[in-house]
Chains A and B, each alone.
Chain A
Amino acid sequence: MSDMLRAPAEVKYADELDWLESVDTGPKPFSWRLSPRMVRLFVLGSERADGLDREIPQKWFGDRSFVERAIVTLASDRGLLLIGDPGTGKSWLAELLAAAICRNSTLVVQGTAGTTEDHIKYSWNVSMVIARGQSRESMIPSPIMTAMEQGVVGRFEELTRSTSDVQDALISILSEKYISIPELDRDNIVFAKPGFSIIATANSRDRGVNDLSSALKRRFNFVRIPVVTNKRSEAEIVRFRTEELLRRHHIDLDVPPTLLDILLQSFADLRAAAASATSDDEKLESALSTAEQIGVLEDAILHSQFFGDRALRPEILAGSLMGSLARRSPEDLAILNKYLHGVVEPRAKQDGGDWAGFLDGGRQAIASLS
């Protein structure tokens, strides 16, 4: 684990999963490693009322019913499509579910404009084909095909980024649950084992790029993950993810709660401004998601660690925030400048404290970016 920059969930939480599996007495669908209730518990964390001897921390923050709906979808005949704005935790939820259900979250196809049908079905090892001809040995199964063979969960990230013909290759996989290999004379059908399912994610901001066909939509259950607007939940998420990042980088640094509040408040303010904007030029290009907040905080922490005095300062946080959010010049810079003068400045005058430092840092950052 230590030699992995980022361990997949099943590795990272291997102890926890082992323990849960050992105490799980509930009925398990297909070849699932955990019962649906334990999967929910793994994702959402345990409480005293669950009567477990060990505390299971919460790993995904959001409405309980989303997780329940996702789990039962995977236990049913249909694929699961998690849809939502960027940075809402769709991929993280997909990874956790795959890890809990089958201890393998790495069978992933990343949807891009360059994804082909081969990435979903299979391709050939050309040199082996030349040497020995087409056979199961010279075939390179895709992650989805591997998932079918093993009866586990396959993942498809950013489904709507791939083109329609690639998407349509999924239709037969989800309906018939097998892939035929016409190039082979024998052993030319790969049947999915019980337990196979697909978790796909789609970005709702990409709607219209490659819309799903009705036939494919019908084979997926959609679970929409909303942007977290509850400040308390958001603080939990940011704290949780930041601690993880600090651990990963072996950094021993405290995030002062006041600075976390400033970060959350400034994102809330900028979201409110974006919601009331009438044109695209009046809102930041960034989706202002929770993931973006984590990115800003991570950037600020790394900066403080390596270039600062190993303490997070408001000036550095402001610099990271401006640097991360100012993507277009002059539009984004103008919005951030307006925000600094219209919102942060009065607050700094009224409350003082870290807001004043945040204002100074913001000004300097904008001056250097302009």
Chain B
Amino acid sequence: MTAPTDAGLFGALRERLADAAAAFADSPDALAGILAGMVDDVDRALGERLEIFPVCHHSPASALAMLRRLRAKQPKVVYLELCEDLQPLLTELRNCRLPVAVQAFATELADFPAEWAPLSVVAPITEASAEYQAIAYALDTPGVELVLVDRSTDHVFQWTPRPGEAGSTPAGPPGEATVGAEPAEEAALHGDAVGVEIGDLRPRFAELEAYLLHHGKVRHWSEWWDQYVERPLATADHDTYRQVMVLIGSLFRRLRPTAADRLDRDEDRERYMWTRIRQHLAASGADPADCLYVCGAFHAASRVEQFGLDSTAPDFAISPRTATRWRYGLIPSSHSAIEAQFGLAPGSVSIAAAAWTTALSRGGLVPFRLDGQQGGTKRSRRGRAAVAPAPATPVADRLTGFLAAPPVLDELDEAELRGWCVDIVRLARRNGYLASTADAIAVFETSILLAGLRNRARPTPYDFADAAVTCIEKDVVPGRRDVRRLCEILLGGDRIGQVGYDSLPPLARDVLDRLRPLGLDLEKRTVQRALLDLRADPALPACSDLLWMLRHLLPADAVRPIMGERRLGHRSPQESWDLALGRHQRALIELGYEGVTVEQVLEQRLRRCVRGPDATAATALAAVEDAIRLLDSPRLVDELGARAVELLSAERTVDDAPEVLRRIRRLLAHHRTTAARLPAWCEAFVTTGYAHYCTLLPTAFVDEATGVRQVGAMLGFLFGMESLALSLGCDRSQLELAVAQSHPEAPAKVALLWASRHQLGLLPLAELRDRCAELLANPLVVPAFPQYLSGFVHALEPAPGLAPFVVETMSTAFARLPDPVLLPWLPTLITTLRDQGPDLVPRLVREAERTFPGGLAALDAWVPPWRATGQPAPAVRSAPTGPATALLVGHPEAVDAVAALLGCADGWRQDAAPAAGPAAALVAAHPAAADAVAGLLTGASG
């Protein structure tokens, strides 16, 4: 630790503070210690050979001070508190429209808990920030080196407590801040990334912040900062700025919860940064007088042993990075996303941006901007004229004067306030408010009165917003936005950044290139409608393929089909899409971290999906379907299909049986219609499935956890695929044995078993009918009859031939079940049919339609087919004719001998009975037509 340079520089201040502590505090020693320590911190930071420049995030005052200092000092090396591995990305900022966030992203983790995946770190960068000024200066000034010195993103997570360790949070990787539960679209631009920022300066425990807000008579932290730090420092000189900022950093550092884990991390970061700075200075041989160290004010007041170039403490041992593969990129950010992520008041970043612009124009300052930067004001070349660096001047005590002087009241800027008042009334009117010029006058007056009440001459944006709400907001909000929101829009509004084409990852660029035939500007943030006539333009089918893949990979709103679909074996000739790729740029960019082309990413995702720990046969079949539908890659389909077979044979439950049955049926139908023979994996799936389900059938029948729907689907697989399975070498006896071993007790499953025995030919229909009749006759079993019926309905899957019987049983049940049983069951029947058997219902309805009379008139005479007692009409037999018959008639001996051998005493005889009936009479009376047909047929055969 470095000792204070001397007691002289801030000696007077130290004495005054000690006196104040003695006069006011109950325990003067503690307070005096804190106050003197703060002055010591300032003294030490300013006495350091390497110039430390304390900053606060999103502070225009910091940015202005940085701008002035860079112009005056023109350092050769700038050390910046930002993750060191993000350095290569910074030059890409010039292709973007700010705010954007620098992102590090990892999906393949090594040495981190798997449940943390994917890891994501973002560092948002706005134009009105000190760090951007430093970056722009360093990157665009020849001979200046920018060195990022903070720990790498890998260390961010290395230093995060593991689950179960002290200080860990239950879900996910804890970060400095994460986005809230239900953020608005713009506020969710960072997703669930961990945010890092330069110059996090805020009280480290809630009570201190609450105390400051209460006594500062402000509502939130951003307003406190604006009133008590930002405005007084906006016009301060360099020394005053530095001393005050370090003092504030020191205040928050000293007033903190003891033994806070986070402070240890902060101190480790400081050790890390000083170690890196020393290493760089030693390696480059740069003169510390030409260097500038930009860090948060909190770190400027550091007391770690490595602090200062003259420290003799050994370097901090920096642990190696893990083998995690980090990918880097830029993602769009927005003011509201930054506010949401770092817990700032809504609108505060926008207000800071507006304050920055005003301060620039008022001071006639020209900010540093990266060459080629999109958006914002253009930089004039005049501002870059080289000015000789100002000579270093000895540090003087500015702190005493600053703390002792009354606050300098900013003068009222009438023109600015008048402009705001007129604009808010105009905006309010456009949003449905009945606002008029009188309101503008009232807002103006109220703003000044409110500012006066709050000890300031010049109304801040917060005073103005309060005044506007007071004067314009009435009992209802007429439109979508209330006056407070309108004020936010007026005072800068939310600004959303965009990553330029050149800074996009290859995949995102590839997507934009390949969608160029659509003729749309996909970088726009609006939703755009694309119309694709796939037959008209040969370039469009490729676009359509890509869109379907993106549909699978991106959030639902990014790419949305309005018309057209792609199913197995079906493509629409025309499609229309709603595309919002510009709005979902982050999702597209993060897709780019996974691969170089969309196809590659899709392939990887499908593979990961079937190899994952929660993969099932059903998900694997879904992946196969997606692979056929979207990629059309037989190699991948075979691979995924083979995996589906493995998964099926390894499954111990049959929960997914209905899904498996549905999907494999669809895939078999597809392959049968598109290829000469089934692929090997399909055959393997059917044979494996047959054996697998046969094995599990007896258990599934008795297992209470297995539903009747699942057993029905198993039987559906076994009976529906039976012929294919048998042709592939399966043995039917396996199924017969499985059914024979099944002894269910639940009524629905008993019914299913009966149906399967019937299907196997082991239980005739008549017996089945008798069993049902017995059930209905037994008053003890009647209440359970609906469950039997439910089983029979599910049996339609494996035994569709039972449909007439099911209709019959249902009809009988309606007729005979007592109301107390029937009525409660009816809703269950309807919901069961709707939920579980959408494909069974049409079958049932068709059969019912066939069975029951169509009209009311026919109902009286209708007899249920199962009650019809009449004998079936004898079949009309036709007399055999032809040369064979003629031969037999002519020579019956041989046949008679065979008949005698077989024990038929009557021998062979021709049925000479002539055909009877009106048709036969008609043919006999008018043989000409029949003869003509016979002649025709004979002629044709001849």
Do the two chains bind?
A: yes
Interface residues of A (CB under 8 A from B): 36-37, 40, 47, 49, 63-65, 68-69, 71-73, 75-78, 83, 202, 204, 207, 212, 214, 217-218, 221-224
The answer to whether B442 touches A221, judged by C-beta atoms less than 8 angstroms apart, is: yes
CB distance from B232 to the nearest CB of A (A): 18
Is B215 within 8 A of A49, CB to CB?
A: yes
- Could you tell me the distance in whole angstroms from the C-beta of B417 to the nearest C-beta in chain A? 15
In the bound complex, how far is the Cα of B446 from the Cα of A108, in angstroms? 26
Bound: A228/B439 CA distance, A: 30
Q: Given the complex of chains A and B, what is the CA–CA distance between A63 and B469 in angstroms?
A: 15
Contact of B471 among A64, A75, A207, A221 (CB under 8 A): A221
Complex Cα distance A346/B214, Å?
A: 39
Q: How far is the CA of A223 from the CA of B466 in the complex (A)?
A: 11
Residues of chain A with a CB closer than 8 A to B439's CB: 218
Does residue B936 face the partner (Cβ distance < 8 Å to A)?
Answer: no
Closest chain A residue to B447, Cβ basis: A72
A40 x B470 contact (CB < 8 A): no
25 A–B contacts from the bound complex (CB under 8 Å): A36-B453, A37-B453, A47-B214, A64-B219, A65-B219, A68-B450, A68-B453, A68-B454, A69-B450, A69-B467, A69-B470, A71-B453, A73-B446, A73-B470, A76-B442, A76-B445, A77-B442, A78-B442, A78-B471, A207-B475, A217-B434, A217-B474, A217-B475, A218-B438, A218-B439
B315 at the interface (CB under 8 A from A): no
B436 on the A face (CB < 8 A): yes
Q: In the complex, what distance in Å separates the CA atom of A78 from the CA atom of B470?
A: 11
If A64-B217, A65-B219, A214-B434 touch, whether A72 touches B474 (CB-CB below 8 Å) is no
CA A76 to CA B450, docked complex, whole Å: 11
Chain B 215-229 interface 0/1 with A at a Cβ cutoff of 8 Å (1 = within): 101010000000000
| Residues from 424 to 457 in B contacting A, C-beta threshold 8 Å | 434, 436, 438-439, 442, 445-446, 449-450, 452-454
Q: Which residues of A contact B454 (CB under 8 A)?
A: 68
A364–B838 Cα gap in the complex (Å)?
54
Nearest B residue (CB) for A27: B452
- The residues of A that contact B453 with a CB separation of less than 8 Å are 36-37, 40, 68, 71-72
Find out whether the CB atom of A75 lies under 8 angstroms from the CB atom of B449.
Answer: yes
B473 on the A face (CB < 8 A): yes
Partner of B449, one of A36, A202, A222: A36
**Please, what's the 1-or-0 string for B398-437, where 1 marks a CB less than 8 Å from any CB in chain A?**
0000000000000000000000000000000000001010
Give B771 Cβ to nearest chain A Cβ, in Å.
48
Q: Are B434 and A218 in contact (CB under 8 A)?
A: yes
Task: Give me the 5 closest cross-chain CB pairs, A-B, nearest first.
Answer: A72-B449, A69-B470, A221-B470, A217-B474, A36-B453
A49, A64, A76, A77 interface centre (most CB from chain B within 10 Å): A76
User: Please, how many residues of chain B have a CB less than 8 angstroms from a CB on the other chain?
Assistant: 24
Which residues of chain B are near A65, meaning CB under 8 Å? 219, 466
**A222 contacts B446, CB within 8 Å?**
no
Closest CB of chain B to A98's CB: distance in Å?
18
Min CB distance B436 to A, Å, is 7
Given contact pairs A69-B466, A76-B449, a sample of 5 additional A-B residue pairs in the complex whose CB atoms are under 8 Å apart:
A64-B219, A68-B453, A68-B454, A76-B442, A222-B475
- Expressed in whole angstroms, the Cα–Cα distance for A83 and B469 within the complex equals 14
Contacts of B446 in A (CB 8 A): 69, 72-73, 76, 221
- Closest approach, in angstroms, between the C-beta of A79 and any C-beta of chain B? 11
Chain B residues with Cβ below 8 Å from A37 are 453
Contact partners of A224 in chain B: CB under 8 A? 473, 475
Whether the pair A222, B450 counts as a contact (CB closer than 8 A) is no
With a cutoff of 8 Å between Cβ atoms, the chain A residues found around residue B467 in the complex are 69, 72
List the A residue with the shortest CB-CB distance to B449: A72
Shortest CB-to-CB span from B90 to chain A, Å, is 41
Residue of B nearest to A202 (CB): B475
Nearest residue (CB) in A for B215 is A49
**Mask for B456-480, Cβ within 8 A of A = 1, else 0?**
0000000000110111011100000
B475 touches A72 (CB 8 A): no
Which residues of the other chain, B, contact A73 by a CB distance below 8 angstroms?
446, 470
Q: Nearest Cβ in chain B — how far from A25, in angstroms? A: 14
Q: Chain A nearest CB: distance from B519 CB in Å?
A: 49
Q: What are the residues of chain A within 8 A of B438 when measuring CB–CB?
A: 218
Q: A204 is contacted by which of B217, B449, B475 (Cβ under 8 Å)? A: B475
A157 vs chain B, min Cβ distance (A): 17
Bound Cα distance A222, B475 (Å):
7
Measured in the bound complex, the distance between the Cα atoms of B474 and A40 in whole Å is 23
Q: How far is the CB of A67 from chain B (nearest CB, A)?
A: 10
| Candidate in A212, A214, A221, A223 with the most chain B CB atoms within 10 angstroms | A221
Is A83 a contact partner of B475 (Cβ separation < 8 A)?
A: yes
Q: Is B470 within 8 A of A47, CB to CB?
A: no
Residue of B nearest to A80 (CB): B470
From A47, A63, A222, contact of B473 by CB (8 A): A222
Chain A residue with minimal CB distance to B434? A214
What residues of A have a CB within 8 angstroms of the CB of B475 in the complex? 83, 202, 204, 207, 212, 217, 222, 224
**In whole angstroms, what is the CA distance A223 to B473 when docked?**
9
